[in-house]
């Protein structure tokens, strides 16, 4: 069968592969190359070596964005996963209305980041103006917590679904055995349920981690980095470096930042996957 299929390889593989080359491989390779160049379009690139990288690390707005992104990511990963797991535990208790609750908690996930950001901007600004605090455009703290609340609101439902699927796969005998042995609810949770759903935890932490680092739409729509780039995350900082100002010096800097960002995201995902995978138990 392999032989017959091989003859048909142009038909099966080429269309997707061609689009993949156009949409990913060429832009990726070009991006890598251009990070060592000064340019305004792909065609007028001039090799400058690692100058862009030196400027990127010296750029305070970039290191600030990195700091903001990391502190946002840590808090949002904890908040989202703790609440999502809590909800999943409640919704697997066979309470009345479980399906309705699940439906409601999942819903914000389907709405795009731009629209969500706008909705929360209206709500948060209204609350701030009622309590007499400066609005989001001038209020760094509110911007930070606003982003946490907004993304938690969006992603809790998604992670909850994954945790529910994990909890439903915990064998009933195991829970019965724990009960007979006299384990209380908290011991059962810590010693039986959580070890058994480690693979769900791996996935959810991985997803929230990469989502936090790659966050763009919500950041743009909620605060757009205001005030004074203080709530600007890495993705938005790179975007602004590319497109906010005209001039030959910016695009190369932006591309170098993008490469650093890319390496950072890949490295963090790999480390995280290794770390939590090692805690998974075989069923």
Partner 1 sequence: MKKENKALDMMWTVILTIASVLYMYPIVMIFFNSLKEETSISTNSAVQLPTAETFAGLENYLNAINSKGFLQSLGYSIVITVTSVIAILLLCSMCSWYITRVKGIVSSGLYFLFAFSMVVPFQMVMFTLSQTADQLKLNTPWNIWIIYLGFGAGLAVFMFAGFMKSIPLEVEEASMIDGCNPLQTYFLIVMPMLKPTMVSVGILEAMWVWNDYLLPTLVLDIKKYKTIPMLIQYFRGSYGRVEMGPMMACIMLTVIPIVITYLLGQKHIIKGVAAGAVKG
Could you say which residues in the range 260-279 bind partner 1, by CB under 8 A? 261-262, 265-266, 269
Span 72-111, contacts to partner 1 by CB under 8 A: 90, 93, 95-97, 100-111
* Segment near partner 1 (CB under 8 A); pick from 29-37, 52-60, 64-72, 188-196: 29-37
Which residue, among 169, 199, 29, has the nearest Cα to 92 in the 3D structure? 169
**Do residues 115 and 127 touch, judged by C-beta distance below 8 A?**
no
Span 149-168, contacts to partner 1 by CB under 8 A: 153, 158, 161-162, 165
Span 178-197, contacts to partner 1 by CB under 8 A: none
Q: What is the nearest approach in angstroms of partner 1 to the Cβ of residue 11? A: 7
Residue written as token pair 């650093």: 260
Torsion of CA 93, 94, 98, 102, to 10 degrees: 50
Q: What is the nearest approach in angstroms of partner 1 to the Cβ of residue 211? A: 11
Distance between CA atoms of 160 and 87, rounded to whole angstroms? 7
Distance between CA atoms of 260 and 182, rounded to whole angstroms? 52
- Indicate which single residue of 129, 190, 195, 228 sits in contact with partner 1 (rule: CB under 8 A): 129
Number of residues that bind partner 1 (CB under 8 A): 92
- Indicate which single residue of 82, 127, 177, 244 sits in contact with partner 1 (rule: CB under 8 A): 127
Residue written as token pair 């994990």: 166
**Do residues 144 and 72 touch, judged by C-beta distance below 8 A?**
yes
Does the protein bind partner 1 through residue 144 (CB under 8 A)? Answer: no
Does the protein bind partner 1 through residue 48 (CB under 8 A)? Answer: no
Which regions of the chain does DSSP assign to beta strands (E)? 37-38, 46-47
């Amino acid at each position: 069968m392999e032989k017959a299929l091989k003859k048909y390889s142009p038909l099966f593989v080429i269309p997707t592969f061609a689009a993949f080359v156009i949409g990913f491989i060429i832009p990726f390779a070009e991006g890598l190359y251009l990070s060592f160049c000064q340019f305004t379009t792909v065609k007028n690139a001039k090799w400058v070596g690692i100058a862009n990288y030196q400027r990127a690390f010296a750029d305070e707005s970039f290191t600030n964005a990195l700091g903001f992104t990391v502190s946002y990511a840590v808090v949002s990963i904890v908040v989202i996963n703790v609440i999502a797991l809590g909800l999943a535990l409640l919704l697997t208790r066979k309470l009345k209305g479980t399906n309705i609750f699940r439906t409601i908690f999942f819903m914000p996930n389907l709405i795009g980041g731009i629209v969500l950001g706008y909705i929360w901007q209206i709500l948060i600004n209204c609350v701030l103006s009622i309590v007499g605090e400066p609005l989001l455009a001038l209020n760094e703290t509110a911007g930070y917590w606003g982003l946490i609340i907004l993304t938690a609101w969006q992603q809790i439902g998604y992670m909850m679904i994954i945790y529910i699927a994990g909890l439903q796969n915990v064998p009933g005998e195991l829970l019965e055995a724990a009960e007979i042995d006299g384990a209380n609810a908290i011991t059962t949770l810590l010693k039986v349920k959580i070890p058994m759903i480690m693979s769900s935890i791996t996935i959810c932490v991985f997803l929230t981690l990469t989502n936090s680092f790659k966050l763009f739409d919500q950041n743009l729509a909620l605060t757009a980095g205001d005030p004074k780039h203080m709530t600007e995350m890495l993705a938005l900082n790179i975007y602004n470096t590319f497109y906010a100002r005209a001039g030959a010096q910016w695009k190369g800097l932006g591309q170098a930042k993008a490469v650093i960002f890319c390496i950072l995201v890949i490295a963090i995902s790999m480390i995280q996957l290794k770390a939590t995978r090692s805690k998974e138990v075989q069923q």
